[in-house]
Copies of this chain bind each other. A is one copy, B any other.
């Protein structure tokens, strides 16, 4: 098979579908999303059958239980995918909104209209639910989507994509708007990444290795979702009870997520009073502690943190604890070791709260709230396609608006350039 020619043809078909899709009204797109949600629910028996093939193959290859769990579909997971599509249907349509319509000195009106980006390529790993989640968000924002999932889940992904494709076709939208790349070879990804001018944006969903490989090979803009090395800084003027609750929540509520805390920074003047109770609670919750020398002198018996630990995204019940002289040192630590993902200060001091907010350069900066709240749903965006760690185009949780771009619209009455 000529993989290059296949990818080119598929991408071109997706691009051709964008004119019809860009013109579709919110009613038409929502109708497609409802039909897609129904198709998944009605087809769940067939999806489970296809998924069983993937699981069997994964087991025969001795893949890890964690990976097999990620690729496993259940009635409940299919129902969640279906419900997710209904949630996206319920969100307002971002397309067509005109902002900042201003009258210029020559009386022409200039504004920005929100429009679809065009064709979005999603490159993902073993989770079949990405097939439905990403498709729903892209479609609602008026974009065609090209799906290229991991080879481990190819039977599941194909079945989900086929269900979605026939549903949107029944809703009167060209099925090329949801294009599935049915080729397990890595070469398929490489060919996708060359199609500058046809594919407008690539979103890789998966581990750091996948994202790095995509960035190194892509001529198309890539939106990256890198790791989260997140901090909570407990300022000397923190309410100690609030600080305990926030740190506990940031570490243990779901430690395997990118917005969980990896290092707790405590300002020196309150360290002696704050740390013993806090660290006892964290240990009681099963957290392995790694402390700086000053932490150890206050709370002996735990391991000493090594400098390289400060760079780590544990995704686990492990926490670095460091006593810092002041906020300046805390912000220096965050700038040096952090990944600019989610960072919080706990304080009752207004001036330091505002300074932290201004100077810490992360996708979300929190005053007196848990880093775990960095999430599209929590931020009122509705569903999200991920949390961008990029500074170009979108940063932080990416919802429907971040899957669009704008164009300038000008309403004149004969204005010329003088």
**Chain B residues near A242 (CB, 8 Å)?**
413-414
Min distance, Cβ A158 to any Cβ of chain B, angstroms: 29
Q: What residues of chain B lie closer than 8 Å to A149, measured between beta carbons?
A: none
A363 touches B407 (CB 8 A): yes
Q: Are A408 and B379 in contact (CB under 8 A)?
A: yes
Identical chains bound together, number: 2
- Asked if A61 lies at the interface with its beta carbon under 8 angstroms from chain B, I say no
Restricting to A240-278, which residues have a CB under 8 Å from any CB of B? 242, 245-246, 249, 253-254
Q: Enumerate chain B residues within 8 angstroms of A378, measured Cβ to Cβ.
A: 104, 110, 417
CB 8 Å contact bits of A318-349 with B (1 = contact, 0 = none)? 00000000000000000100000000000000
Contact assessment for A246 and B374 in the assembled complex, using a CB-CB cutoff below 8 Å: no
Please report the C-alpha to C-alpha distance between residue A416 and residue B102 in the assembled complex, in whole angstroms: 40
With CB as the reference atom, state the residue of chain B lying closest to A19: B335
CA distance A363 to B405 in the complex (A): 10
As a 0/1 sequence over residues 381 to 408 of chain A, the CB contacts with chain B under 8 angstroms (1 = contact) are 0000000001111011100000001111
Q: Is A129 an interface residue (CB 8 A)?
A: no
Q: Which residue of B lies closest to A257 (CB)?
A: B417
- What B residues does A368 contact at CB under 8 A? 411-415
Q: A366 vs B413: C-alpha distance in the bound complex, in angstroms?
A: 10
Chain A residues in the interface with B (C-beta under 8 A): 19, 22-23, 96, 102, 104, 108, 110, 113, 115, 117-118, 196, 200-201, 215-216, 219, 221-223, 239, 242, 245-246, 249, 253-254, 335, 353, 357-359, 361-370, 372-375, 378-380, 390-393, 395-397, 405-417
